[in-house]
Amino acid sequence: MKYSSESAQEKRRGFLDPRTKIALTLCMAVFVLGGLGSSVMEPVKNALSVLPFLLLLIERQWNRFFRGFFMLAIGYGLLFLMPYLPGTLQFIALMCGGILTRFVVTVVMGEYLVGTTSVSEFISAMERLHMPQEITIPMSVMFRLFPTIGAEWKSIRRAMGMRGISLGGVRAGQLLEYQMVPMMTSSVRIGEELSASALTRGLGAPVKRTNICRIGFRFQDILLLFVCIVTVVIWIMSLCGVALWQN
């Protein structure tokens, strides 16, 4: 029986396949965050750093885009001001700027992966990659854990604000007790509930699950996967001493 859910799933389908998003996230983590490769890889790293922000614009994730762009601008601003600062501040600016320019790109890509991929799409992608359930189930729980913890943290802060407990208030010393302790308790409870929910939906069953979400490689997926492959090839060539451009 065919009904409107098929067309609805097609409309909800993201710009990229979940497997492409995972490949891009790993590529960012290895080459941008990890700094793999010599100075020959710098142009490639700069090109990779632009991709997460372009994807956020395509998916209209405005809040994530502006938050990540603001943090990245701070990082490059610190590196720009570093030569004009005195000794100690120069070291601090270099450290903070280097950390931000490396971490922000990978974090933004991770936010894009989590924010634009549903649990069903992720599980379907993992099944097509023939990943074992020992990996699929914990990662599918993690996909729901971070957004749920974020919503719980906002609720706790809102409740504490109504009681006059804030960072700049008179009772600021109670901030740790009244916000962090409920957050840790809620995190444990949320993890247990999400694990039970995953098992209830049959993720641990020995039979293969069905899935109505639509995933698959399209032109943009092939293009970005080709970018990942080219990045790895350039890194291998740099190890072999082959320089594609002058430093």
The position carrying tokens 């992720």 is: 122
The lowest-confidence range among 78-87, 112-121, 139-148, 198-207 is 198-207
Residues 145, 102 share a domain: no
Residues 102, 68 share a domain: yes
Predicted confidence at residue 2, as pLDDT, reads 47
H or E segment and range at residue 40: none
- Phi–psi pair at 241, nearest 5 degrees: 85, 15
Residues 75, 103 share a domain: yes
Residues 44, 60 share a domain: yes
CB 231 within 8 A of CB 26: no
Closest CA to 54 of 67, 40, 65: 65
DSSP 117: -
pLDDT in tens, 123-149: 888 888 888 877 887 787 777 777 778
pLDDT in tens, 61-70: 888 899 999 9
Residues 113, 145 share a domain: no
Dist. CA 192–CA 198, nearest whole Å? 10
Residues 6+ apart with CB under 8 A from 186: 149, 152, 156
Q: Which domain holds residue 177?
A: 132-206
Alpha helices, H only, 28-180: 42-58, 62-81, 87-115, 119-128, 133-162, 175
Residues 202, 88 share a domain: no
In a domain, 125, yes or no: no
Residues 164, 82 share a domain: no
Predicted confidence at residue 4, as pLDDT, reads 45
Over range 175-202, report the average pLDDT. 75
- Number of domains into which the chain is organized: 2
CB 218 within 8 A of CB 21: no
Residues 188, 112 share a domain: no
In a domain, 105, yes or no: yes
In a domain, 42, yes or no: yes
Spell out a b/e string for 74-91, using b for 16 or more CB atoms within 10 Å of the CB, else e.
ebeebbeebeeeeeeeee
